Amino acid sequence: MAQIQAIKGFADLFPEDSALFLRMEQAAREVFPRYAFGELRTPLLEYTDLFRRSIGTETDVVQKEMYTFADSKERSMTLRPEATAGVMRAYIEHGVHAREAVSKFFTIGPMFRHERPQKGRMRQFHQINCECLGPREAEADAEIICMLMEFLGRLNLGDITLQINSLGCPNCRPAYRKILRDWLESLDPAGLCEDCRRRMETNPLRVLDCKVPTCRENTARAPVMLEHQCPECSAHLDTVLRHLRAQGVSFEINHRLVRGLDYYTRTTFEVVSGSIGAQGSVAGGGRYDGLISSLGGPDVPGIGFACGMERLALLMREDGEHFLSRPDFYLASLDDSCRDAAFELAQILRGAGLGGTLAFETRSMKSAMRQADKSRARFALILGPDELAAGTVAVRNMENGEQRAVSRAEAAGALKA
């Protein structure tokens, strides 16, 4: 019978990998609540129209990458390719805007995009998202960027750079789009890839985001948004940058930063790394003031970001961090007569808040030490007939090799000490 394997682009996360994800989640739950963000859990499956209306029908995500299918009633369903749209749907559906002027949510979970799997990019991938709904002020932009950088700082990532741009607003962006399109049309079409030739008509800003070297070279002198935005957008960006400088947050202006989704406006940002190959973005987001109203909700502005957990894990691993929890003990019996007492002692230790492994089978001393070392336990606990009769357990410190007999009644306190 043929062996069944995982679907391409869908990974199994064993403890050494999931430990990295757990550390990210712990850092998120440590940092975000201090900024008044609460966790929201939304469904993995939504009606397809939600993503068509929020992300934009001309985006690569909607046109090429969504996992979409019809249910038994021929309704079009999609596995979520990103989290923001689902948060907006929940916010509107449950009338949250009527209960509070400002809403702050974070989400953690899997997303799905049908694209070519590569380093740091899977078809099922995981994101940490934050959404701040309500404020239009630039201080909200600066606050959420500061929060993002504090969160990433908890992970000791090292080689990361914050990049910022402004995409203008509905008042000034249409004129810039025309200027950019006219400039692009003056180029030799042969110098642009097929996708960029299509984007010139449907979404010219996305041409600036193309990663094809010839496209980047040929658009190096393209008009930039910051030179064509309205005074209000300029003042908004200036305020954001002023607050970031005051907080010691380093950044670069990236005129090519347009993000891949249609709903962004004004502030947009990414955190990139040069250590994980071509897919260098580990976090990104921006302001989306018109998104909620475009989905049938009230005219409530918002700003948010998403972090790719697989890409963060690559940086955490390359930085030498090892987050797999280390057991407190490895407990082995040298004789079958000791197994009941060993089982009881293991439960006593766990009840005292210690974690570890009980060897179910009887082992020799040499085998017990070998397995204790392999388990990475701080202490090896050995229970043989002599210890059973004396009411003790042999405790060996796996760091320095010191061993002593400890009363089983006092074993938990001895390990904690």
Residues 271 and 359 in one domain: no
The interaxial angle of helices 15-31 and 309-318, nearest 10 deg, is 110
Question: What is the rounded CA–CA span in Å between residue 190 and residue 185?
Answer: 11
Residues 308 and 402 in one domain: no
**Which pLDDT score is estimated for 32?**
98
Q: How many domains does the chain have?
A: 2
Q: pLDDT truncated to tens, each residue of the chain (417 aa)? A: 889 999 999 999 888 888 899 999 999 999 999 999 999 999 999 999 999 988 877 677 888 899 999 999 999 999 999 999 999 999 999 999 999 999 999 999 999 999 888 877 899 999 999 999 999 999 999 999 999 999 999 998 878 999 999 999 989 988 988 898 888 888 888 888 888 888 888 788 888 888 888 888 888 888 888 999 999 999 999 999 999 999 999 999 999 888 656 678 899 999 998 777 666 889 999 999 989 998 999 999 999 999 999 999 988 865 444 567 789 999 999 999 999 999 999 999 999 999 999 998 888 888 888 998 888 999 999 999 999 999 999 999 998 989 999 999 999 999 998
Question: What is the rounded CA–CA span in Å between residue 14 and residue 33?
Answer: 29
Q: In this structure, is residue 195 part of a structural domain? A: no
Question: Do 126 and 110 form a contact (C-beta atoms < 8 A)?
Answer: yes
Residues 43 and 159 in one domain: yes
Residues 107 and 154 in one domain: yes
Helix or strand (DSSP H, E) at 127: strand 124-133
Round the CA-based radius of gyration of the chain to a whole number and report it.
27
Residues 233 and 349 in one domain: no
Residues 21 and 132 in one domain: yes
Residues 255 and 375 in one domain: no
**Which pLDDT score is estimated for 321?**
43
Domain boundary among 298, 318, 338: 318
The sign of the torsion formed by the CA atoms of 143, 145, 148, 152 equals negative
Residues 74 and 154 in one domain: yes
Q: In this structure, is residue 257 part of a structural domain? A: yes
Question: Do 55 and 82 form a contact (C-beta atoms < 8 A)?
Answer: yes
Residues 167 and 286 in one domain: yes
**Which pLDDT score is estimated for 133?**
97
- pTM, 2 dp: 0.86
Residue reference for tokens 């939504």: 46
Domain boundary among 286, 318, 350: 318
**Which pLDDT score is estimated for 116?**
87
Q: In this structure, is residue 193 part of a structural domain? A: no
Q: In this structure, is residue 218 part of a structural domain? A: no
Kindly compute the dihedral angle of the four CA atoms of residues 303, 309, 312, 318, in this order, to the nearest 10 degrees. Answer: 180
β-pairing verdict for 302-308 and 161-166: unpaired
Residues 79 and 153 in one domain: yes
Q: In this structure, is residue 384 part of a structural domain? A: yes
Residues 153 and 247 in one domain: yes
Q: In this structure, is residue 403 part of a structural domain? A: yes
**Which pLDDT score is estimated for 131?**
97
Q: What is the CATH number of the domain that holds 399?
A: 3.40.50.800
Q: In this structure, is residue 87 part of a structural domain? A: yes
Domain of 383 in residue numbering reads as: 329-416
CA-angle at 134, arms to 282 and 108, nearest 5°: 35
Residues 134 and 52 in one domain: yes
Q: In this structure, is residue 194 part of a structural domain? A: no
Domain boundary among 268, 294, 318: 318
**Which pLDDT score is estimated for 404?**
93
Q: What is the CATH number of the domain that holds 46?
A: 3.30.930.10
**Which pLDDT score is estimated for 407?**
93
